[in-house]
Every structure is written in structure tokens, then in C-alpha cells.
Amino acid sequence: MPATAQTILFFTLLCICASALSTTVQRCEDSAGRLTFTYQGCPSGSSMHFQKAYNAAPGSRVQLLPEAEPHRDKRTTSSDNRWAVKELVVVGQADDGCGNVLSSEERRRAIINQRTVSGMSQRDVESALGKPDKIASRNGETRYTYDEKNGRSHQVVFNEDGCVKAKR
């Protein structure tokens, strides 16, 4: 192989390797606002933007975000304490639909231990016990029945809001 052909081959391979490190990706956004990243092209009805993707070599250090500086709030500083701690005030909280009877920790513990506690939603019970074997509704109450292997069954009764009723 002549020297010029080897040189051309060498530079061609060098360019191919360099282009493998960074690639242009198409960012597609449809009318519902869903994003898709692709090499192939956007589907019809989607807006297309080119986005440069860079994959850093293993072991390299590339700073992708600027370094964070501590945020100094004038309201939290005082003359005798430079960084005074400000108390967190919760203005509102998420409503679980069952009157927030259970804390998130109690709910999580009940689901992990596969127990049903009053104040759990139908979704919580299904997370703990799975899909019921039988569902019955009467007078605004819903009853989940779980059949056990030994012929016994376990029932969970929900009120009209879909929350586990308290046992009497």
C-alpha cells in the first residue's frame, strides 16, 4: 500500500473515532409535550431540534454543571449568628383522600408487613396484598376478598370514599 493511501486511511480512521465520541441527537417534542431523543428522525407532528450529545471518556473529569455557591438569604442572617437556622413551616400537605389518618411511615410499614389498617386506600391495600380474588359492592361499601390456600378467606371493607373502614 503506498504511503499516501496509508496516510488517507489513517486520517479517515482518526475522524471516525473522533466522531464516535460526540454525536448529534434529534430531540422530538409532540403536541402533548412528550420528549423523545432519537438518531432516526422525529415522527410526523413533532417538532425537531438538534442536540449535541457528548459522552466523556471513562476516567475523565468534565464539569457539566457550574459549581454551586452557598445561597445567602438576607432574611436568615442575624448580627450574632451569621447563618441563622430558619424554621420550616408547612403551609399545605397532600391529601390522601382518607383524611390523612396514617403518616407515610405508618402506611409504608403496613404495606411492607402486608397488613391492612384503617385509613389505607384501595391502592395501598393492593400494594400490600395484591389484587383481590373477589370484589363485591353494596350500599356504598366495597369488599375485597382474598382466598388463602387453607380454605380460609380474608376480607377488607372500604367505605364510600375508598378507604379501609375501622374495625368495630
Question: What is the spatial distance between Cα 117 and Cα 162, in angstroms, rounded to a whole number?
Answer: 13
Whether the pLDDT of residue 77 is over 60: the answer is no
Instruction: Say whether pLDDT at 73 is over 70.
Output: no
Query: CA–CA separation, 45 vs 36, rounded Å?
Result: 13
pLDDT of residue 83: 59
Return the pLDDT at 142. 92
Three-class DSSP category at 105: helix
Helix (H, G, I), strand (E, B) or coil at 11: helix
Is-contact 135 142, C-beta < 8 A? Answer: yes
Residues in contact with 140: Cβ distance below 8 Å, sequence separation at least 6, in sequence order: 159, 160
In 3D, which of 17, 90, 29 has the Cα closest to residue 55? 17
Q: Are 99 and 135 in contact (CB under 8 A)?
A: no
List the chain domain ranges. 3-54, 104-158
Look up the pTM and report it: 0.44
**Tens digit of each residue's pLDDT (9 = 90 or more) over 34-63:** 888 887 778 888 888 777 666 677 777 766
pLDDT on residue 113 = 92
